Amino acid sequence: MDKQKLAGKVALVTGGGRGIGAAIALRLAALGAATVVCGRTQSHIDQTASQITSAGGIAEAIPADVSDWKSVSALAEKVQQAHGKLDILVNNAGIGGFGGPLQQMPLEKWDAVMNTNLRGVFYTIRAFVPLLVSAGGGDIINISSIAGKNALPNGAAYAASKWGLNGLSYSVAEELRAQKIRVSVICPGSTHTELSPHEGKSPARMLQPDDIAHVVEMLVTQATQSFASEIVIRPTQKP
């Protein structure tokens, strides 16, 4: 892997403590980016950052809760103080909302799903776009889901949050093009992580976190005159 591809770049990955987020953080660091790993659980993000530094990369773990504006704002201040800019923002933090019909969902669960999966992305964009502008442009990559394009019975709240995230991504992409900021959304199918429901599925046939990280690499290393606004990625074989 060419460590010079992202040399001098600063990247931030939310939900970077495990699963897809950890794979993306490791990939960006391996390409040379100084990578900020954030998440709610200190031990998880410490583990990702340790893997990066052990491999010779540059990383720091900063705890943050994307559903809390004060937490996101404080995170942005720390990145500003440490790096003075941001080149790549990966909005990966998310929680599931599976397990039953919508009319049986506790009200607080709905709020938690929306606050993390949708409101949290609004917060990070609001907080970090000034740093991307000061860098002269960059990439915002939002990790959505194929559930943001297809019906998901017994997962309506999760699907709604991802449909909303897709709409947010398309619209913000148009707002930020003039500032040379590319906004892309990735919609993975069944991926083998702790978040995805695995009942009746073969993990070996599911997408792996590294598959998503590979797509992120493609997005952030493409020629500056173009960007892929949306990528849907599916397993080759149905799980």
166, two tokens: 């897709």
Query: What residues have CB less than 8 Å from 199, skipping those under 6 apart?
Result: none
Nearest to 86 by CA among 138, 22, 48: 138
SS3 of residue 142 by DSSP: strand
- Would residue 116 count as lying in a domain? yes
Q: What is the pLDDT of residues 169-213, one digit of tens each?
A: 999 999 999 999 999 999 999 887 776 666 667 777 889 999 999
pLDDT confidence of residue 193: 76
Residue 127 lies in a domain: yes
> What's the structural domain count of the chain?
1
In a domain, 44, yes or no: yes
Number of C-beta neighbours around residue 218 at 10 A: 12
Domain span including residue 67: 10-233
Q: Whole-model pTM?
A: 0.94
The predicted structure's pLDDT at residue 197? 60
Quick check: is 3 in a domain?
no
Q: What is the pLDDT of residues 110-127, one digit of tens each?
A: 999 999 999 999 999 999
Contact criterion met (CB below 8 Å) for 28 and 13: yes
Average pLDDT, the chain: 94
Is 217 a member of any domain? Answer: yes
CA distances from 82 to 30, 63, 136, 217 (A): 20, 15, 18, 24
- Whether 158 is catalytic is yes
Residue 4 lies in a domain: no
Q: Where are the alpha helices (DSSP H) in the chain?
A: 19-30, 42-54, 69-83, 107-114, 120-134, 156-176, 209-220
Burial of 94 (0-12, 13-18, 19+ CB in 10 A): buried
Of 158, 161, 176, 215, the active-site residue reads: 158
pLDDT (0 to 100) of residue 99? 78
Looking up residue 206, the CATH number of its domain turns out to be 3.40.50.720
pLDDT in tens, 129-151: 999 999 999 999 999 999 999 99
Is residue 1 situated within a structural domain?
no
Give 68's contacts (C-beta < 8 A, 6+ positions apart): 123
Q: Is 109 a domain residue?
A: yes
